Chain A
Amino acid sequence: AQKITQTQPGMFVQEKEAVTLDCTYDTSDQSYGLFWYKQPSSGEMIFLIYQGSYDEQNATEGRYSLNFQKARKSANLVISASQLGDSAMYFCAMSPMEYGNKLVFGAGTILRVKS
């Protein structure tokens, strides 16, 4: 079974600064995907970034990057140059590759960007 742990219930960051949201995972699967989703107060789930377990390079998507450390089973999200619109709940999730792409989510981290 897969498990995602997000140890930071809430985080504050100053506008224009970078912030790291922590995520550790546990799985016995050899192939898996790691994801980050953003959920603003409006409730929708917005896909941010994906990292495959066999990808050698860390994923980047604009201001988002995923710091993937496979040996430590961590997949931290780094948001650079934070904006007020980044204030939201952030979920780390994982999925096995072999069969069925169901997502297993962590508890989430609430990020508040201060001006």
Chain B
Amino acid sequence: DSGVTQTPKHLITATGQRVTLRCSPRSGDLSVYWYQQSLDQGLQFLIHYYNGEERAKGNILERFSAQQFPDLHSELNLSSLELGDSALYFCASSAELAGGRYNEQFFGPGTRLTVL
């Protein structure tokens, strides 16, 4: 158990809908990362938050948005869902922002999203 929790574990929805994925980082970790794992794109970085502020964006669609709340949990919002959004969405957390020796990222169990 990495200490990172994600809910829900599975989500099945229809095209055009909107969903929210939730992530709670390990206790004390300030950084939260979101990744998408799909068969055609592989594992891709979406977005990084540090202590409530957005720090880096990757290949995140405009239909997707995220935020990190004062209690450090994070939510990834996916709207106007398309079939191609079906994927495993991971949240990861780490202790520090950057610099020095890398701080290991601990991954949550993921949310498997199926868009029908």
Contact = CB atoms under 8 A, between A and B. Distances in A.
Interface of A: 33, 35, 37, 43-47, 50, 52, 91, 93, 95, 97-108
A33 B48 CA distance: 17
Given A33-B102, A37-B107, A93-B43, 17 more contacts: A35-B102, A43-B88, A44-B107, A45-B92, A46-B107, A47-B104, A52-B102, A95-B102, A101-B31, A101-B102, A103-B45, A103-B92, A103-B105, A105-B42, A105-B43, A106-B42, A108-B43
Nearest 9 pairs between A and B by C-beta? A45-B107, A33-B102, A105-B43, A100-B56, A102-B45, A99-B98, A44-B109, A107-B42, A47-B104
A100 B110 contact: no
Contacts of B110: 43-45
Interface string B93-116: 010011111111111011010000
A46 B1 CA distance: 9
Interface string B22-40: 0000000001010100000
A101 B42 contact: no
